Amino acid sequence: MRKIISAGIIVYIMAQTLCACGKQQPDGANKVYVGVAYYDQSDTFLGQLIACLKNSFQEYEKDGYEIVMQVRSASGSQRTQDDQVKELIDSGCNVLCVNLVDRADPSEIIDLAREHNISIIFFNREPVAEDMMQWDKLYYVGGPAAQSGIMQGELAVALIQADTGIDRNKDGKIQYVVLEGEAGHQDAIIRTKNVVETLKNNDIEIEKLSYGIANWNRAQAQNRMLQMISQHQNEIELVLANNDDMALGALDAYEKLNYTESTLPVFLGIDGTDVGLEAVRDSRLAGTVYNDKEGQASAIAKLAVALVSGKGLEQIEFENEKYIYLPYLKVTKDTVDEFFQKQSRN
């Protein structure tokens, strides 16, 4: 009996060694069946992030992995997303990438995954810390929200210091409005807080005229901005938007009212989506902050493959054992070309 066992072990070790040479993984572990669930198909940034994710996963096919990726978008309904995750699991997914609709309501999805022992990589919409502690196979990949607010603030400070014309009424203060993303989204709350603090910390006198919640959406931002312009006319000197789509929506509002360039405020966004970068290149936005979708996608794919194959997990660096944050980057007209290149490389 003992001989049979040790012979078995030797055969197993040989098989493992052979596999390592041919870059083949042990049975089953080279099949990565990814289920991706995201909150809404109309979100510009998410659409581009999902495209990056496809590219990043495909890279692993070169290394002998079989990759199948299924994507579901939930049209803004957590109920729908819970059902979609159930279907993805039933259809055989062995790892899940989840962009929650309601970041405070992941319990159903976590329970489903735990029942089937399938790891979840949450991304972009960060569950609260207590929920991340519910199980040890939960991970998060995203950007450090505070940094994006600080960088947007630093862009604003540099512009205001370089151009006294931004203070159009010459009262020594910058009158500003904020366009905020969804209430309750970590990026909306933290970006707004940090951009304002950064301006204050740099001794810029500011006066908040108003704010509007526009749920990351260009059309909603245009409406909110039209309302704010009707209240404040030419008083607004700076528009701080939690993302590029809303910064562009604000600009749409001014265009609709036929404002000329000399009477426009300064607009700043966050994301560096295709449309955002183009607007920076054309000086319609004064700047943006790059939300590194290529980096996030490649971290998600790497982690997913490691979780399924059981290989390479020890090389991945986590914060608090389950978080991966990819740094943001400032984008101005001077640096925008680098970012177009970054996108075309992906």
Residues 6+ apart with CB under 8 A from 12: none
45 binds, among Ca ion, ligand BGC, none (CB under 5 to 8 A by kind): ligand BGC
CB of 188 to Ca ion, least distance (A): 26
In Å, what is the CA distance from 342 to each residue of 56, 164, 287, 335?
Answer: 14, 33, 17, 12
* Of 125 and 302, CB closest to ligand BGC: 125
CB of 174 to Ca ion, least distance (A): 6
Report how far residue 38's alpha carbon sits from residue 40's, in angstroms, rounded to the nearest whole number: 6
Report how far residue 273's alpha carbon sits from residue 44's, in angstroms, rounded to the nearest whole number: 7
* Of 155 and 204, CB closest to Ca ion: 204
84 binds, among Ca ion, ligand BGC, none (CB under 5 to 8 A by kind): none
CB of 46 to ligand BGC, least distance (A): 6
Report how far residue 70's alpha carbon sits from residue 176's, in angstroms, rounded to the nearest whole number: 43
Q: What is the DSSP string of 186-211?
A: HHHHHHHHHHHHHHHHTT--EEEEEE
CB of 202 to Ca ion, least distance (A): 16
By CB under 6 A, tell whether 43 contacts ligand BGC.
Answer: yes
Q: Of the ranges 41-49, 86-94, 192-200, 225-233, which one interacts with ligand BGC (CB under 6 A)? A: 41-49
Among 36, 37, 45, 228, binds ligand BGC (CB under 6 A): 45
CB of 191 to Ca ion, least distance (A): 23
Residues in the chain: 346
Cβ atoms of 88 and 120 within 8 Å: the answer is: no
Report how far residue 343's alpha carbon sits from residue 211's, in angstroms, rounded to the nearest whole number: 32
Question: x-or-dash pattern for ligand BGC, window 216-235, by CB under 6 A?
Answer: x-------------------
* Of 69 and 188, CB closest to ligand BGC: 188
169 binds, among Ca ion, ligand BGC, none (CB under 5 to 8 A by kind): Ca ion
Q: Which of these, 144, 182, 36, 186, lies nearest to 99 by C-alpha position?
A: 36
CB of 117 to ligand BGC, least distance (A): 28
* Of 198 and 291, CB closest to ligand BGC: 291
Q: Of the ranges 12-20, 38-46, 247-255, 310-318, which one interacts with ligand BGC (CB under 6 A)? A: 38-46
Report how far residue 247's alpha carbon sits from residue 254's, in angstroms, rounded to the nearest whole number: 11
Footprint (CB under 5 A) of Ca ion, residues 158-177: 167, 169, 171, 173
Taking each helix axis from N to C end, the angle separating 274-281 and 244-256, rounded to the nearest 10 degrees, works out to: 60
Report how far residue 230's alpha carbon sits from residue 29's, in angstroms, rounded to the nearest whole number: 60
Residues 6+ apart with CB under 8 A from 50: 36, 38, 71
CB of 243 to ligand BGC, least distance (A): 4
Footprint (CB under 6 A) of ligand BGC, residues 239-298: 243, 270-271, 291
CB of 43 to ligand BGC, least distance (A): 5
180 binds, among ligand BGC, Ca ion, none (CB under 5 to 8 A by kind): none
Residue located via tokens 């790059």: 290
Radius of gyration of the chain (CA): 23
Cβ atoms of 225 and 239 within 8 Å: the answer is: yes
Give the interface with Ca ion as residue ranges (CB under 5 A). 167, 169, 171, 173
Residues contributing to the site for ligand BGC (CB under 6 A): 43, 45-46, 124-125, 185, 187, 216, 243, 270-271, 291
